[in-house]
Amino acid sequence: MSNISSVFIKPDKKALIAYVTVGYPSVEATLKVVPLLAKSGCDIVELGVPFSDPLADGPTIQKASFYALRNGVTLKLCIDIARQLRQKIEIPLVMMSYFNPVYKYGCENLCSDSADAGIDGLIIPDLPPEEGSELEAATRNNNLDLIYLLTPTSNKSRIKLVAEKSSGFIYLVSVTGTTGVRESLPSGLDAFVARVRQTAEQPLCIGFGISTPQQARQIATIADGIIVGSRIIQLMESPDENFISVQGFIIELRNALDNPPTT
């Protein structure tokens, strides 16, 4: 069983997965906030590799990527930062990168270096499962999970393919759009989750747009975990170097997940 899979062992425990863009607003901020996220109740932290064309991300994470790139953050530096973080925390680390930097780095080299740094899995949002064989082999060789995404428009054959290839968990995109804070969850989310559960045995975690404890509590009734990114990035932009607002937000999310609606 992988470190990521072990997060989902307890049937009543809902996973809280936090996303941060590595190097935003600074490398020092990343090194400080990730241990705080773990301490405050996160089960997994997703380390976002900044990229010049983050097509799945909304304005908040696009801006974070832009400034992180200006700060000189590269894929290699992200791996080095993960190595430093692994000395401070025990929870799983997942690296999220678009495929272009992965291709340039080399799939086997990336997976070998990532595993050596203490990274537990990869999310590549623009890599379709039909074209993932090289990276899948490299992740298997290095005991990493490769987490694929499904969207509300995914048909039965795509769901079946992702269920065959994804490990750790499956990332369910809540909307047919980009990441970002939203006032409400889309209708039909429960039906989407139910469709995937008919085929997939992996845990299902929902991301894109989750920004309040109320939304987290609602999702806890249908999914195995939530992924929150844009709201965390926004809170990290405050002048508070101790990230008190981030800590408070994570504690609220943890409480919401641990106390789902009773009806």
Residue 176: the pLDDT is: 56
pLDDT average, residue stretch 83-88? 98
In the block, tokens 């801006």 appear at 63
Residue 181 in domain: no
Residue 34 in domain: yes
Of the listed 43, 57, 113, 224, which one is catalytic? 57
Is 57 a residue of the active site? yes
In the block, tokens 């975990």 appear at 225
Q: Whole-angstrom Cα distance, residue 74 to residue 51?
A: 9
Residue 70 in domain: yes
Residue 245 in domain: yes
pLDDT at residue 166 greater than cutoff 90: yes
Tens of pLDDT, residue by residue over 20-50, are 999 999 999 999 999 999 999 999 999 999 9
Residue 263: the pLDDT is: 55
Of the listed 28, 43, 46, 126, which one is catalytic? 46
Q: Whole-angstrom Cα distance, residue 81 to residue 198?
A: 39
Residue 156 in domain: no
Residue 83 in domain: yes
Residue 177: the pLDDT is: 47
Residue 187: the pLDDT is: 75
Q: Whole-angstrom Cα distance, residue 137 to residue 107?
A: 9
pLDDT at residue 65 greater than cutoff 90: yes
The pair of structure tokens assigned to 197 is 């559960």
Residue 145: the pLDDT is: 98
pLDDT average, residue stretch 73-87? 98
To the nearest whole percent, how much of the chain has pLDDT over 70? 95
pLDDT average, residue stretch 87-97? 98
End-to-end CA distance of the chain: 33
With H, G, I as helix, E, B as strand and everything else as coil, classify residue 230: helix
Q: What domain range is 29 assigned to?
A: 14-144+211-258
Residue 91 in domain: yes
Mean pLDDT rounded to a whole number for the chain: 93
In what side-by-side order are the strands of the sheet with 15-21?
A: 145-147, 121-123, 93-96, 44-48, 15-21, 225-228, 204-207, 170-173, 149-150
Triad 123, 121, 241: Cα angle to 5°: 80
Residue 54: the pLDDT is: 79
Cα–Cα distances (Å) from 135 to 5, 46, 219, 236, in that order, read 19, 18, 31, 32
Chain centre to alpha carbon of residue 55: 16
Tens of pLDDT, residue by residue over 198-233, are 999 999 999 988 989 999 999 999 999 999 999 999
Residue 35 gets the label, from left (phi > 0), alpha (psi -120 to 50) or beta, of alpha
With H, G, I as helix, E, B as strand and everything else as coil, classify residue 46: strand
Instruction: Give me the number of domains the chain comprises.
Output: 1
Cβ pair 94, 44 in contact under 8 A: yes
Is 237 a residue of the active site? no
In the block, tokens 């990441």 appear at 179
Q: 178 falls in which pLDDT band (50, 70, 90)?
A: very low
Residue 119: the pLDDT is: 98
Residue 62 in domain: yes
Q: Whole-angstrom Cα distance, residue 239 to residue 235?
A: 9
Query: Which CATH number is 91's domain given?
Result: 3.20.20.70
